[in-house]
């Protein structure tokens, strides 16, 4: 008897929850489509809150119109003249939204949902990574144990999220956002030392974001921002690494290609507090990220410190995310790294690594 009632209860809950879930998904999709349309047509001075307010009003009007009784609806229009049909066939077709526009509209559609987490940088898990070099010296010195060693094979993952804190600042021209990125290096296959995390880098940041729409030589400057970021590995003693920066970021797009130019300035620290005084010699004064997407494949490249170091201490990271058949939730992910600053603990050590795994999202 009890199992029968449970069965009935499950059916009742499913019958009520499924339409609600479907309706909510449909509403989110409609909001996203509206935001995308208005985002493309709006001038650069338009704020996020203005876009969302306009879409909310449009969707409310559409919903009210859908509820009007059939007897009160307008009569069917008369058959259009041949000339009108020809004019309609010659109407201007709107171009397809760019990947950057699609991502931004998806993010705006979720801002009112307190249970939704928005991706910031790529989120991935590399189940297998091979590194050409290992540098256990800092750990051996910190723990006074010459037997500490690192495997060439390990796992890595990155978790990166962001959220809007305020909208329509500075006269309605800017939004305030905050983000956090965690990148962990896991000696998953090093059973001799209980598979430890050899390094975890924490990177909280906050920035003002300014939407833009000016174009030059076919490139559209879609967004600019300025902010502050702290990065550290949360360690002490010989293992301590940290630095603070003020940065600017300019995002340009052209079709399926997006480019981010991000210069920064390191905030000086006192000699006794600075565990890595020469970090800019290896990580440079900025980075450039380019991403291109096509048919669910995304290719990206990160460049850092090549020009500043005279091509002696530069960094290049190349990644490729690709579909796993028709599976909609994860994509395959391949990452190749060469240079300095792969982890803070070894920012001044050169390494080449190749990893494969899965990703939740990429740059686009």
What pLDDT, in 10s, does the model give residues 151-161?
999 999 999 99
**CA distances, 197 to each of 3, 59, 218, 249, 312 (Å):** 46, 49, 46, 31, 30
Q: Are 210 and 223 in contact (CB under 8 A)?
A: yes
How many whole angstroms separate alpha carbon 83 and alpha carbon 100? 38
Give 275-311 pLDDT, tens digit per residue.
999 999 999 999 999 999 999 999 999 999 999 999 9
pTM, full prediction: 0.79
Place of tokens 């978790």: 159
- Name 135's Cβ contacts closer than 8 Å, sequence gap at least 6: 150, 345, 346, 349
Q: Pick the closest to residue 331 from 298, 307, 308 (CA basis).
A: 298
Rg of the chain (C-alpha set): 26
Q: Pick the closest to residue 209 from 82, 49, 76 (CA basis).
A: 49
Residues of the chain with CATH 2.40.230.10: 117-361
How many whole angstroms separate alpha carbon 76 and alpha carbon 111? 39
Catalytic status, residue 202:
no
CA pseudo-torsion sign 231, 321, 125, 346: negative
pLDDT, residue 93, reads: 64
Query: Which residue among 49, 106, 202, 230 is the active-site one?
Result: 230
Give 100-123 pLDDT, tens digit per residue.
988 988 888 888 888 888 999 999
pLDDT, residue 113, reads: 86
How many whole angstroms separate alpha carbon 292 and alpha carbon 282? 27
Query: Which residue among 202, 232, 297, 306 is the active-site one?
Result: 232
- Report the percent of the chain where pLDDT is more than 70: 78
Domain 117-361 has CATH 2.40.230.10: yes
Catalytic status, residue 120:
no
pLDDT, residue 272, reads: 86
List, for the chain, all residue ranges whose pLDDT scores fall below the cut of 50: 1-25, 68-75
């Amino acid at each position: 008897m009890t199992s029968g009632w449970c069965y009935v209860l499950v059916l009742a809950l499913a019958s009520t929850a499924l339409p609600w879930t479907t309706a909510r998904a449909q509403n989110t999709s409609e909001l996203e489509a509206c935001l995308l349309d208005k985002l493309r047509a709006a001038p650069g001075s338009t704020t996020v809150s203005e876009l969302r307010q306009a879409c909310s009003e449009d969707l409310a009007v559409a919903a009210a119109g859908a509820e009007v009784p059939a007897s009160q609806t307008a009569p069917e229009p008369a058959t259009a003249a041949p000339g009108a049909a020809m004019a309609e066939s010659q109407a201007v077709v709107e171009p397809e939204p760019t990947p950057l526009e699609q991502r931004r509209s998806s993010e705006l559609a979720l801002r009112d949902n307190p249970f939704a987490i928005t991706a910031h940088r790529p989120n991935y898990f590399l189940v297998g990574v091979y590194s050409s070099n290992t540098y256990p010296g800092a750990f051996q010195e910190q723990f006074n144990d010459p037997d500490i060693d690192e495997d060439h094979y390990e796992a890595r993952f990155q978790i990166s999220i962001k959220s809007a804190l305020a909208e329509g600042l500075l006269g309605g021209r800017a939004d305030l956002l905050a983000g956090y990125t965690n990148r962990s290096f896991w000696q998953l296959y090093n059973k001799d030392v209980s598979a430890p995390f050899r390094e975890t880098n924490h990177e909280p940041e906050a920035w003002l974001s300014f939407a833009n729409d000016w174009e030059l030589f076919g490139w559209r400057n879609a967004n600019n921002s300025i902010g502050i970021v702290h990065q550290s590995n949360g360690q002490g003693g010989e293992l301590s690494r940290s630095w603070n920066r003020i940065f600017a970021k300019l995002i340009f797009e052209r079709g399926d290609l997006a480019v981010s130019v991000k210069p920064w300035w390191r905030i000086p620290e006192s000699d006794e507090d600075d565990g890595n005084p020469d970090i800019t010699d290896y990580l440079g004064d900025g980075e450039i990220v380019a991403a291109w997407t096509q048919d669910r494949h995304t290719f990206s490249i990160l460049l850092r410190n090549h020009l500043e170091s005279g091509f002696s201490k530069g960094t290049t990271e190349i990644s490729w995310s690709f579909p796993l058949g028709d599976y909609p939730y994860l994509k395959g992910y391949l990452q190749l790294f060469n240079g300095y600053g792969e982890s803070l603990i070894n920012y001044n050590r050169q390494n080449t690594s190749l990893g494969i795994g899965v990703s939740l999202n990429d740059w686009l």
